[in-house]
């Protein structure tokens, strides 16, 4: 059963081939057998899952249940879950049990999906390797000496190891697409505002966006149908009709104009990754798509602009963790100042503290214009590059990341090398555009991803092309050797 896609599981549940309780128990058994090998899941909610599955079976037996009814999934531990610890990968929130569900979690619960547990992640979603988690690193099921990517590495690894058929994730600078690529699965970052951020612990509020991860584009479409909604509780949520993302999956790619940014194929791209991505583009061309070379001239400014804007917003967002209201508090503080200082020093890891320092510095009087103001201007230029490009092309494609999964520790001492992991993904967040990664090859025994970027609210077209690509290739069906 763990090799079925979500689409297949839905059919099986609706045709009574197996019950949600059986399915849920099957995944819970796999999690208890295999999770120690990967550390992908940090909280398992077995009893709650079986209760939800029982209710889902009742709903299914009445007929007319929503598509996700009875399907087991995992939530990234950045989404607040009522009565279930939500740590955000940090010691700071190791003891935090929210009294409410995030809207995304609520949407899945409304439709009867079954939460199996919460996935490991980089601390406060800061990272590209899952090495910054308080709960230890996640191992890549394709090669356990290598990282799964981050920050949604737990969700990606869990799907690759068949511990769940789908999961939620978030992407501030690449955290859905990069781990999806490194673990050989599919993942979509929707347009900013498409999915509610309410109850999702904030990292950089103008960039954060939640999205689905699964093995196929079709499954991502099914998950997005459930996740996307207008939410009055999130002031940046967009009040726009949510289409049925599965309805257009069958459209042909004939005549589609695909822009290939020359900046995405320059120095720094692993030659094996380049070959795989170019082959994928040729496959789409053979189906009738037209490839057009384009330029996104300000691409190289995206990483520096991001590493001013994201830390600036993070420093403001993380100021709420002060040892007073909730979260970690140091022992025996001498006075108020000592409590603030030690609670934050002991509760936050090194990377989080680095970002808070950078962000506070960039926002200080005297530096604000030089750094933050400048970065916002660069952000405008990047956005303009994309809107110019979308005047002549329907989609933009290139690699998701520069290379296949790297080994643990390989970039640990060099934050800048780590930051460059997101060189192809960050611009999309700065512009607020949707982007997806789908598996497109195996390089050095590890998967690599093709990135598909669309115009605002063009998720249906991205998913359609991704699905068509998966009809003519089988990269999404490859399984890590250790997994059966």
**Active-site residue set:** 76, 151, 175
Shortest gap between Cβ of 189 and ligand GLN (angstroms)?
Answer: 8
Does residue number 173 form part of the binding site for ligand GLN (CB under 6 A)? yes
Stretch that binds ligand GLN, among 124-132, 154-162, 260-268, 282-290 (CB under 6 A): 124-132
Residue 397 forms beta bridges with which residues?
452
Rounded to 5°, the CA angle 184-185-190 comes to: 135
Helices 20-38 and 46-62 sit at what angle, rounded to 10 degrees? 150
* Binder of ligand GLN out of 42, 52, 56, 126 (CB under 6 A): 126
35 in contact with ligand GLN (CB under 6 A): no
Q: What CA–CA distances, in Å, run from 195 to 117, 168, 242?
A: 21, 11, 10
Q: Determine contact, residues 175/125, Cβ cutoff 8 Å.
A: yes
Using the rule CB under 6 A, give the single segment among 126-134, 211-219, 336-344, 439-447 that binds ligand GLN. 126-134
Determine if 156 is a binding residue for ligand GLN (CB under 6 A): no
For ligand GLN, the binding residue among 310, 362, 423, 462 (CB under 6 A) is 310
* Residue from 151, 403, 455, 468 binding ligand GLN (CB under 6 A): 151
Using the minimum distance from each CB to ligand GLN, give the nearer residue, 46 or 415. 415
Out of 77, 131, 171, 385, which residue is the one contacting ligand GLN (CB under 6 A)?
171
Q: Tell me the closest approach of the beta carbon of residue 393 to ligand GLN, in angstroms.
A: 25
Q: How far is the CB of 471 from ligand GLN (least distance, A)?
A: 29
Q: Which of 43, 101, 120, 175 binds ligand GLN (CB under 6 A)?
A: 175
Stretch that binds ligand GLN, among 30-38, 88-96, 121-129, 281-289 (CB under 6 A): 121-129
Least Å distance, CB 89 to ligand GLN, is 11
Exposed e or buried b per residue across 216-244, where buried means at least 16 C-beta atoms within 10 angstroms of its C-beta: bbbbbbbbbbbbbbebeebeebbeeebee
Answer yes or no whether residue 125 interacts with ligand GLN by CB under 6 A: yes
Applying CB under 6 A, does 315 fall inside the site for ligand GLN? Answer: no
Q: Nearest distance from residue 78's CB to ligand GLN, in Å?
A: 9
Least distance from ligand GLN to the Cβ atom of residue 171, Å: 5
Choose, by CB under 6 A, the member of 70, 117, 174, 399 that binds ligand GLN.
174
Stretch that binds ligand GLN, among 172-180, 228-236, 260-268, 340-348 (CB under 6 A): 172-180
Does 451 participate in binding ligand GLN (rule CB under 6 A)? no
Question: From residue 267 to residue 286, what is the string marking binding to ligand GLN with x (rule CB under 6 A)?
Answer: --------------------
To ligand GLN, the closest distance from the beta carbon of 333 in angstroms equals 31
Please choose, out of 167-175, 230-238, 255-263, 290-298, the segment that lies near ligand GLN by the rule CB under 6 A.
Answer: 167-175
Interaction with ligand GLN in 195-254: which residues (CB under 6 A)? 203
Is residue 422 within the footprint of ligand GLN (CB under 6 A)?
yes
Number of residues forming the site for ligand GLN (CB under 6 A): 13
Q: Is 172 in the site for ligand GLN (CB under 6 A)?
A: yes
| Residue 128 interacting with ligand GLN (CB under 6 A) | yes
Q: Point out which residues bind ligand GLN (CB under 6 A).
A: 125-128, 151, 171-175, 203, 310, 422
């Amino acid at each position: 059963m763990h090799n079925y896609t979500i689409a297949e599981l839905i059919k099986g549940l609706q045709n009574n081939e197996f019950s949600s309780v059986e399915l849920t128990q099957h995944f819970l058994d796999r999690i208890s057998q295999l999770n120690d090998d990967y550390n992908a899941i940090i909280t398992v909610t077995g009893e709650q899952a079986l209760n939800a599955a029982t209710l889902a079976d009742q709903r299914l037996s009445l007929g007319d249940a929503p598509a996700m009814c009875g399907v087991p999934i995992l939530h990234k531990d950045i989404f607040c879950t009522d009565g279930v610890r939500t740590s955000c990968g940090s010691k700071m929130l190791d003891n935090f049990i929210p009294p409410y569900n995030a809207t995304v979690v609520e949407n899945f619960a409304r439709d009867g999906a079954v939460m199996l547990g919460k996935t490991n992640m980089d601390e406060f979603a800061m990272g590209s390797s899952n090495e910054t988690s308080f709960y230890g690193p996640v191992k890549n099921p394709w090669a356990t000496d290598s990282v799964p990517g981050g920050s949604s590495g737990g969700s990606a690894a869990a799907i690759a190891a068949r511990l769940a058929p789908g999961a939620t994730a978030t992407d501030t600078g690449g955290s859905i697409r990069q781990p999806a690529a490194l673990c050989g699965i599919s993942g979509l970052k929707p347009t900013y505002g498409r999915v509610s951020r309410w109850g999702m612990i904030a990292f950089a509020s103008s960039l954060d966006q939640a999205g689905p991860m699964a093995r196929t584009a079709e499954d991502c479409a099914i998950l997005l149908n459930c996740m996307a909604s207008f939410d009055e509780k999130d002031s940046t949520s967009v009040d726009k009709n949510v289409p049925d993302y599965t309805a257009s999956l069958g459209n042909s790619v004939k005549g589609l104009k695909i822009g290939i940014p020359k900046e995405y194929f320059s120095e720094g791209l692993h030659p094996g990754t380049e070959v795989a991505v170019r082959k994928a583009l040729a496959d789409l061309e053979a189906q009738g798509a037209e490839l057009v070379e384009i330029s996104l001239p300000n691409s190289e400014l995206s990483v520096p602009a991001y590493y001013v804007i994201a830390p600036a917003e993070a420093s403001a967002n993380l100021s709420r963790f002060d040892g007073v209201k909730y979260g970690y508090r140091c022992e025996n503080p001498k006075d108020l100042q000592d409590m603030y200082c030690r609670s934050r020093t002991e509760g936050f890891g090194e990377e989080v503290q680095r970002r808070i320092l950078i962000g506070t510095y960039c926002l200080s009087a005297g530096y604000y214009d030089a750094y933050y103001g400048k970065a916002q201007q660069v952000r405008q230029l990047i956005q303009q590059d994309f809107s110019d490009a979308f005047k002549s092309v329907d989609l933009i494609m290139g690699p998701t990341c520069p290379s296949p999964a790297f080994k643990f520790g390989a970039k640990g001492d060099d934050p800048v090398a780590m930051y460059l992991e997101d060189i192809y993904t960050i611009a999309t967040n700065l512009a607020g555009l949707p982007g997806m990664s789908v598996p497109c090859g195996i390089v050095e025994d590890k998967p690599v991803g093709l990135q598909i970027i669309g115009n605002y609210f063009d998720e249906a077209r991205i998913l359609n092309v991704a699905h068509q690509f998966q009809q003519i290739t089988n990269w999404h069906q490859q399984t890590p050797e250790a997994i059966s």
